[in-house]
Structure 1
Amino acid sequence: MSEIRLYVSTTEVQSGEVLDLLSEVFGEEDIAIANTEVDEKRDIWETSVYLYANDEDDVRARVTDALTSAFPHLTIEREIIPDVDWIAKSLEGLTPVRAGRFLVHGSHDRDKVRINDLAIEIEAGQAFGTGHHGTTAGCLEMIEQVLRARTIRNALDLGTGSGVLAIAVAKMRPVPVLATDIDPIAIRVAKENARLNGIVSGMSLETAPGFHSDAFRKHGPFDLIIANILARPLIKMAPQLVTHLAPGGTVILSGILASQRWKVLAAYNGMRLSHVRTLWRNGWVTIHLRKD
């Protein structure tokens, strides 16, 4: 069955706003939505919706309805996607990413690893999170800062994607880590990446939408929770997330545009979490909070 890409071209900041809007429209439906940088110098980004041809009329109508009022100047473009793993092909050429002591790289860049690096090898795959996005890199930096400053007994990576953040925790501290994602493909890829990085025990990977899984009760409460998702779901899940956080526990939140940070902070301050610090990267923020 043919796959279709509907997309709009915009700026980095506005692409995040469009992504948030479309994520709200489609919720947990089996519709993939993603942002891609097209031209760094001219600040051109594309927000894409991926779907099968037989769903196109319905999906296009909903995308059009959503964008007409909020972004009337945007034009919806259409592309038929060939049967090629473009994600794998594009990741093959990515350069290593350094975030603090962490170095995220592919197998073709193993020679770039230095003696004191915390190297994480991530192969081309179907899950988000290679370190190249500002949110992933920001989380890696924050993880290093947090784990240098305190000892933890366990950790949760909520919305793990490629597993890179869970692997980062396991590389720094030999503690139990639970990594979850709504997408079973992401969990499969994360398992492969964990094995690739020598994480053979101590990490549990589960397919779970939000906090709807017995795994959270089994492995929690958690001293550290990392959630690199999007601002709206982070705000919505604040009460549940805090419930699974141990007393004195730490939260790292990302997937948040700089313009959205006050709404996210307000939601978590209302849950008696105090703000510790914020990291800024390319228009995105990573927030460190602590449970009082």
Structure 2
Amino acid sequence: MSEITPASWTALTTLQTKAQAEGLGTALEETIEPDGVGVFEMEDGSGLWEVGAYFAEAPDETQLALLAAAFDAKPFVVSEVPPTDWVAHVRRELQPVEAGRFFVYGSHDAERLPAGRVGLLIEAAMAFGTGHHGTTLGCLMAFEALLDAGLAPGPVVDVGAGTAVLAMAAAKVWEGVPILASDIDAVAVEVAEANVRVNGLAGRIECLEAAGFDHPRLAEAGPYDVIFANILKGPLVDLAPDLAAHAAPGGHAILSGILNPQGDDVVAAYDAAGWDLVRRAEIGDWTTLTLRRR
């Protein structure tokens, strides 16, 4: 079924610091009241922060200019987004992805699942984290390499799970071990639960809303033999001690969401927290790290 969004508008700007960006985001919500506001650290290694506002109708550009000046931001760039049938777009653009034994596909490509492959079904309307991004693909390939090396089944947690594709990959190849998928975003948790059901894994994967390891179930189900964390450099560095605390001795962490120039910094942070580098791979602009707990 088509899901056509009407025309909308975006307004984007960049700032030097997180505090400025968060302040501008709050001011936007309190004054102009857009339909949505996002505050993100940019992934290009610049250290800049981006603030985006989303509108159903064209925004007042004078108000935006005043707010940008008040927070020392660059002028907002306002763009109209034309009506889009997003599901149709995704179905056109996202082809099945092969990562070793794993085959990631949408329901529109179900007939293309090869015999003997481990199928991971992600609906087109839930397309973030499908395996088409270099970070997710890198994590699947890193897990494939561990499996090929004889990694034994053990408890698994997928931190920042998104669609839970990585947790589902583990559940498809390992029976009878605890597998958890957590995300800080409640909508992502709902998406993860839906994907778990359509893949026939209900009851096999526990989906939780949590920031990092801040949930009692994440402590109860550990220590973990495999920890997936496909997020961003900053949170990964911050989480290094927590990953170590929740990992079994000799357990593995598979990390991505790391731009290639950021890889050395993440490796150094995890070395200091008690991890050894096992494998480092690049797909496009993105690095995936496999580490082993000392």
Calculate the TM-score normalised by the size of structure 1.
0.78
Partner of 1:193, secondary structure, is helix
Partner of 1:140, secondary structure, is helix
- How far did residue 60 of structure 1 move? 6.8
- 2:109 maps to a residue whose letter is D
Q: Which residue of 2 aligns with 1:155?
A: 156
Please tell me whether Structure 1 or Structure 2 has the larger radius of gyration of its CA atoms.
Answer: 2
Match of 1:229 among 227, 231, 234: 231
Inter-CA distance 50–105: structure 2 relative to 1 (3 Å threshold): farther
- 1:189 maps to a residue whose letter is V
Q: Which runs of 5+ in 2 are unaligned?
A: 1-6, 27-36, 43-49
Distance, in Å, in 1 between the alignment partners of 2:118 and 2:19 is 33
Query: Retained in 2: the 8 A contact 1:130–1:162?
Result: yes
Inter-CA distance 63–98: structure 2 relative to 1 (3 Å threshold): farther
Distance, in Å, in 2 between the alignment partners of 1:59 and 1:104 is 46
Inter-CA distance 58–99: structure 2 relative to 1 (3 Å threshold): farther
1:187 aligns with 2:189: yes
1:256 aligns with 2:261: no
1:49 aligns with 2:52: yes
Partner of 2:124, secondary structure, is coil
Distance, in Å, in 2 between the alignment partners of 1:288 and 1:122 is 25
- 1:90 maps to a residue whose letter is H
Match of 2:68 among 51, 61, 65: 61
Correspondences of 1:47-126 after superposition (within 5 Å): 49-51=52-54, 57=64, 61=68, 65=72, 77-81=77-81, 86=86, 88-93=87-92, 94-126=94-126
- How far did residue 90 of structure 1 move? 2.8
- 1:218 maps to a residue whose letter is E
Partner of 1:92, secondary structure, is helix
Q: Which runs of 5+ in 1 are unaligned?
A: 9-17, 36-46, 69-74
| Cα offsets for 1:181-205 (capped at 9, x unmatched) | 0111111111111111111222100
- How far did residue 285 of structure 1 move? 0.8
Inter-CA distance 25–251: structure 2 relative to 1 (3 Å threshold): farther
| Cα offsets for 1:15-67 (capped at 9, x unmatched) | xxx8xx879955999626599xxxxxxxxxxx88354579984997399846x
Query: Retained in 2: the 8 A contact 1:251–1:290?
Result: yes
- How far did residue 247 of structure 1 move? 1.1
- 1:240 maps to a residue whose letter is D
1:220 aligns with 2:222: yes
| Percentage of matched positions with identical amino acids | 38
- 1:49 maps to a residue whose letter is G
Number of matched residues? 264
Calculate the TM-score normalised by the size of structure 2.
0.77
Q: Which residue of 2 aligns with 1:43?
A: none
Distance, in Å, in 1 between the alignment partners of 2:82 and 2:250 is 50
Q: Which residue of 1 aligns with 2:138?
A: 138
Q: Which residue of 2 aligns with 1:44?
A: none
- How far did residue 77 of structure 1 move? 2.7
Distance, in Å, in 2 between the alignment partners of 1:163 and 1:23 is 31
Distance, in Å, in 1 between the alignment partners of 2:70 and 2:192 is 30
Distance, in Å, in 1 between the alignment partners of 2:70 and 2:143 is 36
Cα RMSD of the aligned pairs, angstroms, is 3.6
Q: Which residue of 1 aligns with 2:29?
A: none
- 1:6 maps to a residue whose letter is A
- 1:253 maps to a residue whose letter is L
Q: Which residue of 1 aligns with 2:31?
A: none
Partner of 2:162, secondary structure, is coil
Q: Which residue of 1 aligns with 2:170?
A: 169
Q: Which residue of 2 aligns with 1:198?
A: 200
- How far did residue 84 of structure 1 move? 6.2
Inter-CA distance 91–267: structure 2 relative to 1 (3 Å threshold): same
Distance, in Å, in 1 between the alignment partners of 2:70 and 2:129 is 25
Partner of 2:123, secondary structure, is coil
Distance, in Å, in 2 between the alignment partners of 1:238 and 1:23 is 24
Query: Retained in 1: the 8 A contact 2:252–2:290?
Result: yes
Q: Which residue of 1 aligns with 2:10?
A: 5
Distance, in Å, in 1 between the alignment partners of 2:54 and 2:210 is 22
Partner of 1:189, secondary structure, is helix
Q: Which residue of 1 aligns with 2:289?
A: 287
Inter-CA distance 145–122: structure 2 relative to 1 (3 Å threshold): same
